[in-house]
């Protein structure tokens, strides 16, 4: 996709937001505000239902919006400029963004969001946290070198008086495209880099030097970090994907590590970097050994960083922060250990070994829990494949959505025809190809909302892919035990229908509440058999057996949701946004359910929907 098309896509998305979500905020009629909504929902995947809460302002030099990932210990403070391609960026606006809000937050005087102030206060003394200031623009007019130095100077200052890490980044339109779609790399058959060693002292060749009878050539090299910086820079210049594609899926393009940067930023600790850091693992498909003046060199062919991605990117950030003329001298005592594996064959056995190197060398680092879980969990693939056969395209990896959208017109039409057949009881849900797409995390949210808690689905979806969490252990990891592919078509279509209904009313009902209350009704009916999933599957099939019965289900569950909501608002003196972030009050839900059945004597939920054996 070109930048022209990307700009058009964003414009269409903003119009869509105004049409579908304006009931949440009249400000969505203003493109500058709606762009904040786009950044939150499309770039950071914040649920649309709560995205407006994280937008603070939209037309000055402060923080426009923010995102807090407590599970990853990251806080993003974002300034957005929705400009045409020719409008330049004012240097003063960048200065304001990099100074004023931070001063107010550090002093505890940030007035525009008490929630953000509380988050900042809580995390500022945690050395594992990262605060990232992003200045994002749709302008294509380049910044002057003088203005760009504002960011390098900001990143050069060690901690800005904080214990946590803090970094700033300028995101121009090309960079925004990259963050949204991923880097478009140029195909290269041969990328080579000559990895230098300290003073040419050479390397340890495991098979050659130690005469070990092992299956793969392996080299251990102690190299100046400047060499890693040069390799990264060359790869960027040549548009070569230096990082293994799975690592990019897991961590994104530019993950960093506070401790690494702090060690390298401090001239007094750079010489200890070799001791503190675990090193970098690189897989290559070949190598060229050479000698220059009796010094052994190793030229790497098509290197892929499979472990140490954060180390490489943090080296890049730390070195960039030092003026180019001083870099060699500044980092002359900073070294890193590099392990190079040579895997020349592409048969199944060697491919499996390659994958295992990626997996096992990354088990102990900061890759988010969902990374390997999403990509490698076989049960998820089975659910995805079953849905694909029925016309629903579940996106497991970040790149899946782009892959699906690159389908030909004929392929898209085939997918749409398939889902219309399998979801015929939802005749108006699937009208365009985009309607067939769903993120796999959304499926897990539907699962936990139906079986347990809409509030967890809305507020804590990251826990559904955290292997140590009860939600992963009890639900995500057992997804194959609960529902068939046909059941999933019903639940996903029901969710999408509820989502579409929400766009048309001024007083919304959360789609996850619609899912959760449907699950509650079925469990109530089963009365003591709530863990009988065979019975639950049977009830689902029966409830959604026709267009008429489907509409009855939706109508009655929506009424129950509204009855519960009115009770909750009255009891807690709160609004919709507060309710969806609160745990379900089971006593209140039981009361609402009894009231509904008593009010609807002839049309009680159990009589209308559920077939008794």
Q: What tokens were used for 471? A: 């939600």
Lowest pLDDT segment from 19-28, 229-238, 341-350? 341-350
Q: What percent of the chain has pLDDT over 90?
A: 37
Identify the pLDDT of residue 35: 96
Q: What percent of the chain has pLDDT over 70?
A: 86
Q: If pLDDT is split at 50, 70 and 90, which confidence band does 366 have?
A: very low
Please calculate the CA angle 295-301-304 and round it to the nearest 5 degrees. Answer: 115
- Cα separation, 26 vs 369, in Å, equals 37
- Cα separation, 395 vs 439, in Å, equals 5
- Cα separation, 282 vs 393, in Å, equals 34
- Cα separation, 187 vs 412, in Å, equals 27
Per-domain boundaries in the chain: 3-181, 192-366, 437-609
List all residues 6 or more positions away from 455 whose beta carbon is below 8 Å from its beta carbon: 580, 581, 582, 583, 584
Residue 365 has pLDDT above 60, yes or no: no
Lowest pLDDT segment from 20-24, 279-283, 480-484? 20-24
Residue 397 has pLDDT above 80, yes or no: no
Residue 231 has pLDDT above 90, yes or no: yes
Residue 187 has pLDDT above 70, yes or no: no
Give Cα separations from 249 to 182, 246, 381 (angstroms). Answer: 9, 5, 16
Q: What tokens were used for 142? A: 């380049």
**8 A C-beta contact, residue 104 and residue 62:** no
Q: Is 120 helix (H, G, I), strand (E, B) or coil?
A: helix
Eight-state DSSP code of residue 332: T
For 94-153, the pLDDT digits (tens) are 999 999 999 999 999 998 899 999 999 999 989 889 899 999 999 999 999 899 999 988
Residue 248 has pLDDT above 60, yes or no: no
State mean pLDDT over 27-35.
Answer: 93
For 566-603, the pLDDT digits (tens) are 889 888 888 887 888 788 888 898 888 888 777 765 55
Identify the pLDDT of residue 271: 94
Residue 292 has pLDDT above 60, yes or no: no
């Amino acid at each position: 996709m070109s930048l022209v098309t990307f700009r058009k896509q964003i414009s269409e998305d903003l119009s869509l937001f105004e049409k579908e979500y304006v009931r949440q905020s009249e400000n969505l009629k203003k493109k500058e505000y709606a762009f904040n909504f786009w950044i939150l929902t499309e770039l950071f995947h914040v649920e649309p239902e709560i995205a407006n809460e994280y937008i603070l302002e939209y037309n000055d030099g402060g923080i426009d919006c923010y995102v807090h990932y407590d599970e990853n210990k990251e806080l993003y403070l974002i300034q957005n400029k929705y400009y045409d391609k020719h409008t330049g960026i004012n240097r003063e606006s960048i200065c304001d963004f990099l100074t004023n809000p931070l001063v107010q937050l550090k002093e505890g005087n940030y007035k525009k969001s008490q929630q953000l102030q509380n988050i900042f206060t809580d995390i500022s003394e945690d050395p594992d946290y990262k605060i990232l200031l992003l200045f994002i623009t749709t302008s294509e007019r380049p910044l002057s070198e003088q203005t760009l130095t504002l960011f390098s100077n900001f990143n050069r200052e060690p901690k800005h008086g904080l214990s946590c890490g803090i970094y700033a980044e300028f995101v121009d339109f090309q960079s925004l495209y990259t963050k949204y779609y991923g880097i478009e790399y140029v195909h290269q058959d041969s990328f080579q880099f000559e990895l230098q060693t300290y003073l040419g002292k050479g390397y340890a060749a495991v098979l050659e030097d130690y005469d070990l009878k092992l299956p793969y050539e392996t080299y251990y090299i102690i190299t100046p970090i400047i060499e890693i910086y040069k390799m990264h820079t060359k790869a960027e210049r040549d548009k070569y994907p230096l990082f293994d594609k799975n690592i990019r899926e897991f961590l994104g393009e530019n993950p960093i590590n506070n401790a690494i940067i702090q060690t390298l930023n401090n001239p007094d600790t750079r010489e200890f970097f070799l001791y503190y850091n675990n090193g970098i693992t690189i897989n290559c498909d070949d190598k060229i050994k050479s000698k220059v003046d009796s010094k052994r060199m190793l030229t790497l062919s098509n290197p892929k960083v499979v472990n140490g991605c954060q180390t490489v990117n943090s080296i890049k950030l730390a070195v960039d922060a030092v003026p180019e003329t001083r870099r060699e001298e500044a980092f002359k005592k900073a070294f890193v250990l590099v392990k190079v594996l040579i895997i020349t064959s592409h048969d199944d056995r060697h491919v499996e070994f390659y994958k295992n190197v990626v997996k096992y060398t990354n088990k102990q680092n900061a890759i988010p829990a969902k990374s390997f879980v999403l990509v490698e969990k076989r049960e998820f693939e089975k659910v995805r494949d079953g849905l694909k056969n029925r016309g629903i395209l579940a996106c497991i990896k970040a790149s899946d959505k782009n892959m699906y959208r690159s389908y030909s017109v004929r392929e898209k039409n085939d997918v749409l025809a398939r889902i219309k057949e399998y979801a015929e009881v939802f005749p108006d849900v699937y009208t365009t190809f985009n309607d067939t797409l769903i993120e796999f995390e959304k499926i897990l949210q539907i699962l936990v909302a139906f079986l347990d808690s809409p509030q967890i689905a809305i507020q804590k979806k990251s826990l559904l892919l955290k292997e140590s969490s009860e939600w992963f252990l009890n639900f995500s990891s057992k997804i194959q035990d609960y529902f068939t592919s046909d059941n999933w078509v019903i639940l996903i279509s029901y969710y999408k229908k509820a989502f579409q209904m929400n766009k048309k009313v001024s007083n919304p009902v959360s789609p996850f509440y619609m899912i959760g209350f449907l699950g509650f009704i079925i469990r109530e009916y089963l009365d003591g058999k709530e863990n009988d999933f065979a019975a639950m599957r049977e009830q689902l099939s029966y409830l959604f057996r026709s267009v008429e019965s489907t509409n009855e289900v939706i109508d009655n569950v929506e009424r129950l949701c509204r009855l519960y909501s009115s009770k909750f608002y009255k009891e807690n003196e709160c609004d919709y946004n507060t309710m969806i972030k609160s745990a379900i009050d089971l006593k209140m839900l039981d009361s609402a359910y009894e009231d509904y059945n008593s009010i609807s004597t002839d049309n009680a939920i159990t009589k209308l929907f559920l077939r008794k054996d």
